[in-house]
Amino acid sequence: MKPVFVTKISNVVAWLAAFEALKSRGASESCLMLVDGEPGLGKTRTAQWWGVQVGAIQVRAKQGWTHSWCLQDLYEATSGKPATTKSTSALFKMLCDALTERQVQAQRTGKTVVISIDEADHAVAGGKDVVEAIRDITDTLEIPTVLVGMDRVAKRLNRYPQVASRISQKVQFKPLSLADVRSVISTVCEVEVKDDLIAFTHRACGGYTRELKEAIASIERFGLRQSGAAVGVEAMRGQTLLHDRATGAPMVVG
Amino acid sequence: MEPLLQALSAADACLTLDELEAATGLAYRQMCRLLRATLLAGWVKRADEGCYCLTPEGRDALANGTPLPPELVPATRHAARADTMMARLWTAMRTAERFCRADLIQLAAKDEDDARRLDGAARIYMSRLRSAGYLVRLQGTVRVNPTTRGQTRWRLAWDTGPLPPRPQHGAGQRVFDPNRSRVYSPDALVGPA
């Protein structure tokens, strides 16, 4: 499997388009973007890839996140240094200073400072304090912030209308379409795959990237044994393609 | 900035660059960058050739803890080197925390050609970081390609900051960490903890 991140799939295209739209938003304080979707659709991987490409400040919310812990994590991710105080007010000031420094640097290089918070469910579950802390930071410095969570995060955020109203872009990760699966396979698979097997793989993996990667690995293993010839359903009949997410049962080509 | 102003404030006479370096404990280049910024801000003046002292504005700034205007804050190497292969690989390591080489390339590469170039760079860079104690080997391997044995997974044990540690060429396996301004060598008993 080639180590390439596939950008030509609908979820990634939607993410990039939403971020472009966020940069040209109407209300300056609406600088939150929410990404949600079921596990296994590639949200975290996309967040990581995008974060590295744009140089985002990336943090992962944790179970039990508190106001102070959230500020500490953000400060560490911004400055690369551990926070030297536990006082929330001092932490907030230190974080604002560190973010301002990043904004000045970004201005010099023509980039944008962005914060990306993965597993945002934990941040929202952390209660009003954590959510308000994120709002304070985005309001004070107008830094675009991307919240990545599972499909319940949007519903949970609606409990805080003052924050929910600041979400100007929402992206919902959906299972990959047939065209997406074709794009992924043609980009990363080391062997040529026929259309019938692509369609079968799409049905078998249900549009989940985790399962799709497993299927591609199986196809490659089989294809390279056949000296690299194009692989179709007929050739792979009877071979295990992947394992079912719910039952763990092998899904056989046929 | 504060150590520089304090050193100048404590001195009776003007200080030369060498004296400032010793008094502040900063690296020479870093001290020069700060001195230039404070000169532009009007907080420091040149009393004589190569000799500097504090202005009344500088004393006020030190007393009030006034920060430098943002446009005068010295640019760090982070800004200048943001797009090098090493910087992208280091950012990818900090982002992923646990990874194999293929993961890093997938995260850091801009396109397929870039991915091919990064592969060699990642191999060398990871080997140097491992020697210096930044990377810890995890159990097992992950098969990213059916024709190879699989790639080792690693954990970034010492995330020292946003600037990429730089292997020093022709100096054994030593690595300079600009986040800590220190050199780490493989024979050291402890890593950059």
Give tens-digit pLDDT for A119-142: 999 988 888 888 889 988 888 888
Interface test with B, best of A50, A60, A103, A105 (most B CBs within 10 A): A105
Q: Is B77 on the interface with A (CB under 8 A)?
A: no
Q: CB-CB: which of B67, B145, B179 is closest to A1?
A: B145
Q: Domain range for residue B66?
A: 2-72
CA atoms within 13 A on the CB side of B178: 15
Band of residue A157 on the pLDDT scale cut at 50, 70, 90: confident
The confidence score (pLDDT) of residue B76 equals: 57
Q: Tell me the chain B residues in contact with residue A187 when contact means C-beta distances shorter than 8 Å.
A: 112
- What is the interface pTM, i.e. ipTM, of the complex? 0.70
Longest dimension (CA), chain A: 66
pLDDT digits (tens, 9 = 90+) for A28-60: 667 899 999 988 899 999 999 999 998 899 999
Chain A nearest CA to B193, separation (Å): 12
A188 touches chain B (CB under 8 A): no
Count other C-beta atoms under 10 Å from residue A201's C-beta: 28
Roughly how many angstroms between the first and final C-alpha of chain A, as a whole number? 23
* Every domain of chain A and the residues it spans: 10-172, 178-252
Residue A105 forms contact with B (CB below 8 Å): yes
> Could you confirm whether domain A10-172 is CATH 3.40.50.300?
yes
A1 in contact with B, Cβ within 8 Å? yes
Class of domain A178-252: mainly alpha
Put simply, the answer to whether A52 touches B91 (Cβ < 8 Å) is: yes
pTM for this model (two decimals):
0.74
Local confidence band at A114 (pLDDT 50, 70, 90 cut-offs): very high
| B122 and B53 fall within a common domain | no
Q: Does the distance separating the beta carbons of A52 and B78 come in below 8 Å?
A: no
Q: Which of A49, A58, A220 sits opposite B146 (nearest CB)?
A: A220
Helix intervals (H) in chain A? 10-23, 43-54, 67-79, 88-109, 120-125, 128-141, 153-157, 161-164, 178-188, 195-205, 209-225, 233-236
Question: Do residue B8 and residue B97 come from a single domain?
Answer: no
